[in-house]
Chain A
Amino acid sequence: MGKVFAVVLTLITLVSIAFFAMHTWWLPPDISTTGKAVDRQLDETLIGTGILFLAGQLMLGCFAWTASDKNRAKKIKPFPGGAAPLVTAAIILVGIEIFTLTFVGSKTWGAIYLTAAAPDSLRIDVQAEQFAFYFRYPGSDGKFGGVHPEKIDDGSGNYFGLDPASDVAARDDIVAASLVVPVNRPVSLALHSKDVGHSFYVRELRVQQDFVPGLDIPLHFTATQIGKYEIVCTQLCGLGHYNMKAYLEVMKEEDYEQWLKTQSGQ
C-alpha cells in the first residue's frame, strides 16, 4: 500500500509541476513598466517553491514506500540526526527564501504602490458603480468639475453627478465608458466608488486595486503596448459582479488626441 501511495503521489506531483513548467496556462504578456519586476518575482517564487513542493512530496512518497511493514520482526529506525537538524534546516532554508522574497518583493511593490505618480502624468477620474466603470477626463480646461452624488442620474448619462448648470469646470468634462490612454505616457487614476466596494484589475498591467466607498484611491501606471485590454472587477459587488468590466485602449498619442476631439465634440 505504501508503494502504491508513493507511485500515485509521485505521478500527481510530476503532472502538477509539468503544467506549471510548460506554461500551458499562463499570464498574458506584460504591457507595463512595473510588470517586468512582478513577473521576475513570480518566476523566482515558482522555482523556489517548486523545489520545496517536489522535495516535500517525494520525501513523503519514498518514506511511505520504505516504511511499509511486511515483517513484524523488523525494527524501527530513528530519523538520522533526530529533529534538531530538520528544524534548523527549515529555519535557515525557509528563512533565506523569505528574506530574498521580501527583499525583492518590497521593491517591486514599492514601484507600483509606494511611488508618487509622475508630475506630468495624465489624470483620469474613475468611478465604479454596480456594475460598470466610467472614466472622466478633465476636458479642454484641464479642470475636473466637482461631483455631487445627489445629482447622479444614469438616465441622462450623468454618471458622476456633475452640475454643469452652476459649475463651469464640469461642462467640458469628458465621460467615457472605456479607459483610453496614450502609449508610454504615465497615467494617474483616482478611483472612487458610487455605491459599494469594487476593484480595478488589468492583468496585462499587473495591477489590482480596490475601490473603497468614501475614499479616493490613487493608482498609476504606464502602458507600453498599443492595444485593447480588459478591465474587470475583482471585488464582489453584487448580482452583476461577473459582468462588471470595461476596456483599456492604449493608443498612439495622435489617435488619443483625435479620440479626445471626437468625444468633446459630442
Chain B
Amino acid sequence: MHDVSSKRIAHLHTAPTTFIRKYVFSLDHKVIGKQYYGLALVAVFVGMVLSWLLRIHLAYPGWHIPFLSKLSAAGAPDGVMTPEYYLSLLTMHGTLMVFFVLTNAPFAAFGNYFLPIQIGAEDMAFPRFNMMSFWTTFLAFVVMMASFFVADGPPISGWTAYAPLSAVGGDAGPGLALGQDLWAISIAIFCIGSLLGALNFIATTLDLRTKGMSLARMPYSTWAWFVTSVIALLAFAVLLPACILLILDRVAGTSFFIPGGLILSDKLQPHSGGSPLLWQHLFWFFGHPEVYIAILPSIGIIATILPVFTRKPLLGPRAFIGSMVAIGFLSYMVWGHHMFVSGMNPFSANLFSVPTLVITIPATILTLLLTASIYGGKMRFDTPALFCLGFISVFISGGISGFYLAQPSLDTYLHATYFVVAHFHFVMAVASLFGVFAGTYFWFPKMFGRMMNETLGKWHFWLTFLGVYCVFMPMHYLGLVGNVRRYSAFVDDYLAPLIPVHKFITIAALLTGAAQLIFFGNLIWSRFRGPIAPENPWEATSLEWTTTSPPPFDNFGGNHPVVKNGPNEYGVGGTDGNDYVMQNAAPKSA
C-alpha cells in the first residue's frame, strides 16, 4: 500500500555486526534514541525517589529512613536528614529532572528516534556526532551522580547554583567543595553533548528530508524538535561559557562572579570585584529557554498524537507552527523575569515583564487549537489520547499561574514561594512528562514491536492525573500564604499552621510516585510479553508508520518514501474504508 521510490540507496553507514557496535557505541539513531530514553528513565527514577525523601522530610521530619544513613552517614545520621543534606538532595532532584529528564526524554530520546524517520531519512546527518552526544551526556550523568559519593555530598546551592554561594567553595558550607565542582563540570559536559545533539537535529531537518517532505509537510513533532534544537543550540552555547567561568572562579582563583570583601567561615575571601548578577543573567538567559526546550517537544508530540485519536485534522496547523516558532523566538527576551527582585535595575523589570506576558498569547493559541481540535471528533480513548487530554489540562493550569509571576508587582510577594514551585512543576515538569507518557504509549509499538498494556496504561493515567493535581494545586495556596520554597523545615511561626497541607501533599506525592511504578512495570512487561504490534496500529499518517515495527536498520528497507501529503490527513472519507491518508500515499479525491 505504500508508494516508495524504488531507487536503491547507498547508506550512511553499514549495519553493525558486533554487540558493541549494535547496542553500545551504535551509530543508529534508533538505538541512540533508546539509550537516551533509558538514561532518562534511570534519572527520573532517582529524581522521583529523591522527591519522596524531600517530601517525607518536610511533612514527617522525625522519620528514620534506614537506607539513607547507609547512603550518607554524615548527611543522615540514624536516617534523619540534616538541613544541608536536604538541600543536597533538593539540588540533585532539580538538576537531574531538568537536565537529564526534561531535556533528554521528550527532545533527545524521541527526537533521535523519530525525527529522521518522520522526514524519511535513514539516519541523522552526523551519526558519529550523534553517538558522541549521547555518550557525552552519559558521562555528564556519571559525574553528576558521583557527587553523591564524595565527602560531604552533593552541592547545596540548588539547580540554579547562584554565585557566590556556588563559587566560593567549601567555606560556604557542606557540599560546596568537591560536590559543587562535580556539578559544574557535569553541566559543562552536558552542554557539549546537547550542542552536538542540537546541531545534528538541525542539519538533519534541513538536509535529509526525503522527496516531497517540505517543511510545511513535516509532522508537528518534527517541527517542535526542530524549533527546540534551534533554541537549545543558542541556550547551551551560553550556559557552557557560564559554567567555564564558574569553574575558573572555583579552581583558578579568578573573580568573575565573586565580589570583594566577603567573609565566609570567618575567612576573608581572596576575590574582588566580581558580579553575582552576571551569573544570574547568564544562567537565566539559558534557563528560561530551557523551559521551552522541555515543553515544546511535548507540545509537538501531543499535536501529532491528538489528531490520530480524534480522527480529525489538527486545527490551524500553520498558526500552530507559527506559535511554536514565536515562543522559541520570545523565549530569549524574558529571562529577566526570574530576577525581578534580584537587585537588578528595577526599571528593567517592566521591560522583561511585557514580553513575558506576550508569550502567553502564542501559548494560549496553542492550547486553544489543541482543545478545539477535539471538538466534533470521533475520539478513541486509548491511553495516549488520555494523556493528550491530561496534557492540555495541566498545561492550562500551569500556564495560568504564569500570569501572576510575570508581573513584577505580584512577584514581589510570590517570588521564591511554593506558588513558583507549583507553576513550573505544572507547566514544565508535569506537562512535559505527560507528553513523554503520551509519546511512550503511542510509539512503544514502533520502538519495540509490541503493544503496551492498555489496562495498566489507563490506571497509570487516572492515578497520575488526579495525583499531580493533589500534589501541585495546594502548593498555590501555600504560596499565597507566603510559604518560602527550599526550606528544609518550617520553623517560622506563620508556617506551622501549614504543616497539614504539607502532609497532604506528601501523601499525594508518595501515591503519585507509586503510580509511576505501574508505568515502569508496564514498560518491562510489554517489552517482552506485549502483543505483537502491526505496522500502523493507530492508523496514523506520518512516515514512521509506513515501515515495519520496529523499523529495519535503515528505517525503510533500502527505499525512501516520497511524500505526497501533509501529516494532517484525518477524517477524509474514501472508498478504501480508511478515514486517513498516509503521507506517502496518493491523495484521495474527496
Contacts and interface: CB of A to CB of B under 8 A. Distances in A.
B87 A239 contact: yes
B262 A113 contact: no
A243 B489 contact: yes
B262 A232 contact: no
B397 interface: yes
A199 B316 CA distance: 46
Contact of A236 (B157, B274, B275, B373): B157
A109 B349 contact: yes
A83 B369 contact: yes
Contact of B379 (A64, A84, A207, A240): A64
Interface stretch (A36-44, A133-141, A165-173, A177-185): A36-44
B165 A74 contact: no
B276 A57 contact: no
A212 B465 contact: no
Contacts of A105: 353, 407-410
A69 B378 contact: yes
B58 to A, nearest CB: 10
A237 B82 contact: no
A264 B413 CA distance: 35
Contacts of A1: 381, 386
Contacts of B377: 67, 69, 76
Nearest to B372: A79
B478 A201 contact: no
Interface string B300-311: 000000000011
Contacts of A203: 413, 481-482, 494
B45 to A, nearest CB: 25
A77 B376 contact: yes
A196 B389 contact: no
Interface string B384-400: 00100100110011001
Interface in A28-68: 28, 37-38, 41-42, 45, 48-49, 52-53, 56-57, 59-60, 63-64, 66-68
Contact of A69 (B347, B379, B482): B379
B386 A236 contact: no
Most chain A Cβ neighbours within 10 Å, of B260, B347, B386, B413: B413
A252 interface: no
B178 interface: no
Interface string A4-22: 0100110010001001100
Contact of A201 (B343, B484, B489, B571): B484
B376 A86 contact: no
A235 B312 CA distance: 49
A142 interface: no
Most chain B Cβ neighbours within 10 Å, of A64, A74, A91: A64
Interface stretch (A118-126, A213-221, A254-262): A213-221
A209 B172 CA distance: 21
A38 B263 contact: no
Given A76-B376, A90-B364, A90-B365, A242 B410 contact: no
A225 interface: no
A1 to B, nearest CB: 4
B83 interface: yes
Nearest to A207: B412
B448 interface: no
Interface in B228-272: 258-264, 266, 268
Contacts of A48: 403
B358 to A, nearest CB: 7
Contact of A67 (B165, B379, B392, B476): B379
A72 B378 contact: yes
Interface in A150-200: 150, 152, 154, 161, 194-197, 199
A206 B414 CA distance: 9
A113 B392 contact: no
A239 B491 contact: no
A53 B397 contact: yes
B407 A101 contact: yes
B492 A232 contact: yes
Contact of A241 (B87, B354, B411, B482): B87
B416 interface: yes
A233 B487 CA distance: 10
B66 to A, nearest CB: 23
Most chain A Cβ neighbours within 10 Å, of B168, B261, B491: B261
A240 B168 CA distance: 17
Nearest to B161: A236
Given A209-B343, A230-B492, A232-B492, A214 B484 contact: no
B439 to A, nearest CB: 19
25 contacts: A5-B386, A25-B480, A25-B481, A38-B413, A42-B404, A60-B371, A69-B379, A74-B378, A76-B377, A86-B365, A86-B372, A94-B360, A114-B347, A129-B263, A196-B168, A196-B262, A203-B481, A208-B341, A212-B276, A215-B343, A230-B493, A230-B494, A234-B484, A235-B162, A236-B486
What 8 A-B pairs come out closest when comparing CB atoms?
A214-B259, A83-B316, A77-B376, A1-B381, A69-B378, A108-B409, A242-B487, A113-B346
Interface of B: 82-84, 87, 156-158, 162, 164-165, 168, 172-174, 258-264, 266, 268, 273-277, 310-312, 315-316, 319, 341-343, 346-347, 349-350, 353-354, 357-358, 360-361, 364-365, 367-369, 371-381, 386, 389, 392-393, 396-397, 400-401, 403-404, 407-413, 415-417, 462, 465-466, 469, 473, 476-478, 480-482, 484, 486-494, 498, 501, 571
Given A230-B494, A242-B488, 11 more contacts: A9-B393, A20-B477, A27-B413, A49-B404, A90-B368, A94-B361, A105-B353, A109-B350, A201-B416, A238-B172, A242-B487
